A and B are shown apart, each in its own frame.
Chain A
Amino acid sequence: MAGTNKKTKTNSRLGMVLPLELASADSEKDKAEVISVLMFEVGGAAYAIGVEQTEGVVDCPRITPLPSPPEAVAGLTSVRGRMTVVMELGSNSVEQTVKRRLILVKGDAQLGLLADRIEGVVGLEPKKLRPLEKSKEGVTAQRAPLGWPAKSYFKRGKRSVPLIDVERLAET
């Protein structure tokens, strides 16, 4: 994980697309049973997304607002000539002074996920995933209403981390 962060730093200076690599040593073992997920933090909460579903991480360029955007869409930005719809998970977004990062999501939706901080790539055993419980009032790490772009979560240390479901994300 430390290796990934270091790599992130050297690349971020030029805003290059950073190819995500499997960095953690334990992901080498039991390869078949472990999925690699990218962990990131936004609005003080941790999330994860399958590395397979991402195309890289860039510094987020200036975001242009969209008129009546779909929920969770912060606006639009151009990443190396490709228009990318910027999504921000969680409603508690604060005006950010630090440069934020954008996780590019694979697929036709041309989506990017805003992150305050990239924590790195970790190996995850699928059996550790637990389904999110349905909730009527708001989102927590373990509960979410129907349509929330995550179906499951896992425990990492003391935190509960929802795993983003890219298909649901694109349906927003």
Chain B
Amino acid sequence: MIDDKALLKDYLSEAEELLDSLLADLDSLASSRGAADTNVINRAFRTVHSLKGLSGMMGLAEVQSLAHDFEDILDDLRLGQLALNEQTSVALQEAGAGLAALVGGAARASTSENDFDRLRQLLAAIATKSRERGSKDDSALGSLNLSERERALLTEYEQHRINENVRAGRSLYAINVAFEVDKLDKSYRALSSKLDEAGELVTTLPDKTTAASLVGFKMVFAAALKEGDVKRLVEPWDGRVSRLERSTWRKARAALRAAGRRMPGRGSSAKIAGTELDAVLPPGFAQEALQPLSPSVRVETSQIDELSGLAHELSIGVQRLTAMAENSLEASNLGARERFDLRFGARQIQREFLELEERLVELRMVSLAQIFTRAARLAGRLARELGKSVTVEVAGRETQLDKVIVDRIADSIYHILRNAVDHGLETPAERRLAGKPPRGKIKLEARLEGTRAVIVITDDGRGIDRDEVRRQAIEAGVLVPEEELSEEETLRLILRPGLSTAGQISRLSGRGVGLDAVERTIYELGGDVRISSEKGKWTTFDLALPTTLVMISALIVRSSGWRYAINVAQIIELVYVSPEKILGQDGKRSVEWRGSMIPLVELGYVLGLGGARRLDQQRRAVAGNGSMKVPLLITYAADRNVALAVEQFDEQREIVVKSLGSLGRKVKGVAGAVDLEGGDVALVLDIPSLLVLRSTRL
């Protein structure tokens, strides 16, 4: 059972998706009327395989084993070793529904052992039944690994013997042997008499050989012996032994035997197909699956982004309407009450739009449960490999972060944990010497601090030796010997490429690559890494991260000496025009674009930084012919096009938009900011919003 609520939610949500896909595929197989699409079978197989893995990871052994049985059946189906007829596909649908019904209960530990058994029997019945239906005759023959040609060579008596042996619970083996032509008679007799002593040699079929001087045989042998015993038996003749029964068949037989049922043989098989399936299924078994496992709906992140974009456009529209209303209020002779109502209503809508946008951002949030669980498992496994012993304590799994952040920090968390296990933790012997409990402890914890999430990874290992780090840094030329550093500064040196905390290089980590990548990843996401440690006692990594994140493709432009980032989605076209094409004066300029005159404003002016200067001055942009041209970006505000003059187009790139915090959000027309090289900050402008705010000047 899964105790952790967040984890349970994640498991159910993922399992439900897999089961939905499985049930849909099984439905489509049922309606394919024999002409099954192999793609569908393959997908169903993979789905069940994933469910098996997922359930195994969560420690749900029963679901894992059921999924495994299911997978076996689908595997046979997919390899064409099992025929898909109407009854099989209906039974598969039942089993699929049964599995779906059990998963939710299993995760909450509310499913009884009986429920599992019933489904196990159903799966066994399908495997058996399909065998029967899949073979040409109604015997166990279809379940043997014999080619059509070999099967055709069997006499009726031999077929009967095979069935009898199966019914008696003996195993069937194929023994491939090759005899020298000249000793054929003697050798064959010796082997066959030996086999008849131990069991029953049902038949001998011709087989291929590698050399002309050899004659090959495939002997069908039935005995109540294990494979290893048969191998020993035929060793003197260099016989190669393989089981004739397929694995699914064997498992089905074992399950049915355990359930106290008779092995279906000739004559009894017709019954299991119809009546016994009903007996295996309890009433209402499939109905349970109709209840959804988790109340969530899965949507693509891009859909949320689209909605966010729409909400944003709407809020700009509202801003514009508000500005218009404000203007007409000035001119109107409305009473104080009406004015108040209008302003109040407008503000209310603006607030609600802001909330809508915030809620949409929240939709992108996922919990850290999955990567924390994986990380803890990974650390445990790694410790075992290294002969160390560790307890991994996890806290704050439910902490939610933007999906993009969670996806990108996973490797960093694994990396730090690997470091902690590999050269943070000592071996149990070393720990005893140091007076510590032999079992090491690693704490992985997350918590929210305001708008940031902090992930703390602590181990109680040997800590970081500052003197050693310093020595290495000087050796690597990162530090001059005279340079004095504070304790934290010294520790931060391990984040530099080429420096390692490990005394020796190991297979897993300690090669001095990685921690710098960790820091870079965290920094790019707008977070930072802090390290603290006490030699011989512990090491702690603190990763502070923003909880939300927006990534956009942006154009970096220059204006009034500052750089700005503009979302390319807000840009219609980039053009260079000659200064003489720009008409009008300060604040009322216009330019021809696509056959009509559109207003032109200078970015610096809009931002209230540079004022309205002469546009032909200080232009560095040079068009192909070498003449001075003004770089313009054509954008839009509300419903009309606007040309925005800048000093220079720099480059286009993907940027992570960082939040300005609760106070910065009050700055209109600025969506956030981005770190640029050289420690500079570029504001990410929200052009439509910025222009609407200055609409009176357009």
Contacts and interface: CB of A to CB of B under 8 A. Distances in A.
Contact of B660 (A11, A14, A76, A107): A76
Q: Which of B527, B660, B672, B693 has the most CB of A within 10 A?
A: B660
B344 interface: no
Interface string B652-681: 000000111111101111101101000111
A83 B659 contact: yes
Nearest to A11: B486
Nearest to B679: A61
Interface stretch (A24-32, A66-74, A153-161): A66-74
A3 B609 CA distance: 42
Given A76-B683, A81-B528, A170 B662 contact: yes
A6 interface: no
Interface in A55-85: 61-62, 64-70, 73, 76-78, 80-85
A81 B549 CA distance: 13
B444 interface: no
B347 to A, nearest CB: 17
A70 B667 contact: yes
A66 B670 contact: yes
Contacts of B450: 106-108
Contacts of A64: 562, 673, 680-683
A66 B661 contact: no
Contact of B667 (A16, A61, A67, A107): A67
B616 interface: no
A84 B659 CA distance: 9
Contacts of B6: none
A21 to B, nearest CB: 13
A108 B683 contact: no
Contacts of A14: 485, 489
B664 A172 contact: no
Main SS class of interface, B: mixed
Interface residues of B, number: 40
Contacts of A10: 484, 486
B661 A67 contact: no
Interface string B484-523: 1110110000000000000000000000000000000011
A109 interface: yes
Contacts of B682: 64
B526 interface: yes
A14 B606 CA distance: 37
Given A82-B526, A111-B663, A16 B489 contact: yes
B664 A110 contact: yes
Nearest to B669: A67
B183 to A, nearest CB: 82
Q: Which of A14, A62, A65, A110 has the most CB of B within 10 A?
A: A110
B661 A111 contact: yes
Contacts of B528: 80-82
A66 B486 CA distance: 35
Interface string B232-273: 000000000000000000000000000000000000000000
A81 B405 CA distance: 15
B673 A170 contact: no
Interface in A105-158: 106-111
B690 interface: yes
Contact of A81 (B523, B661, B663, B680): B523
A83 B489 contact: no
B675 A81 contact: yes
Q: Which of A77, A109, A172 has the most CB of B within 10 A?
A: A109
B607 interface: yes
B327 interface: no
B451 interface: yes
Given A67-B608, A68-B608, A108 B662 contact: yes
Contacts of A78: 658, 673, 675, 679, 681
Contacts of A107: 450, 662
Nearest to A18: B486
Interface in B617-671: 658-664, 666-670
Nearest to B522: A81
Given A78-B681, A81-B526, A110-B451, A66 B663 contact: no
Contacts of B693: 68
A110 B660 contact: yes
Given A64-B681, A67-B669, A76-B681, A170 B484 contact: no
Contact of A65 (B523, B609, B664, B680): B609
B555 to A, nearest CB: 18
Contact of B679 (A62, A66, A70, A172): A62
A61 B683 CA distance: 15
A84 B672 CA distance: 11
Given A11-B486, A64-B683, A108-B451, A70 B663 contact: yes
Nearest to B449: A106
B402 to A, nearest CB: 16
Interface in B523-555: 523, 526-528
Given A78-B673, A83-B660, A66 B451 contact: no
Nearest to A64: B681
A57 to B, nearest CB: 14
A154 B693 CA distance: 42
Contacts of A16: 486, 488-489
A67 B690 contact: yes
A67 B663 contact: no
Interface in A1-57: 10-11, 14, 16
Given A10-B484, A108-B451, A83 B681 contact: yes
Given A65-B609, A76-B681, A77-B681, A83 B486 contact: no
A146 B576 CA distance: 50
Contacts of A85: 660-661, 663-664
A30 to B, nearest CB: 30
Interface string B430-458: 00000000000000000000111000000
Given A80-B523, A83-B526, 9 more contacts: A64-B682, A65-B562, A66-B667, A76-B683, A82-B527, A83-B672, A110-B659, A110-B664, A172-B663
18 contacts: A62-B679, A64-B681, A66-B683, A67-B609, A67-B667, A67-B669, A67-B670, A68-B668, A70-B663, A70-B666, A81-B522, A82-B526, A83-B664, A83-B673, A107-B450, A110-B660, A110-B664, A111-B661
Interface of A: 10-11, 14, 16, 61-62, 64-70, 73, 76-78, 80-85, 106-111, 170, 172
Interface of B: 450-452, 484-486, 488-489, 522-523, 526-528, 562, 606-609, 658-664, 666-670, 672-673, 675, 679-683, 690, 693
Q: Which 8 A-B pairs have the closest CB atoms?
A: A110-B661, A109-B663, A67-B607, A108-B662, A64-B681, A80-B528, A108-B450, A109-B662
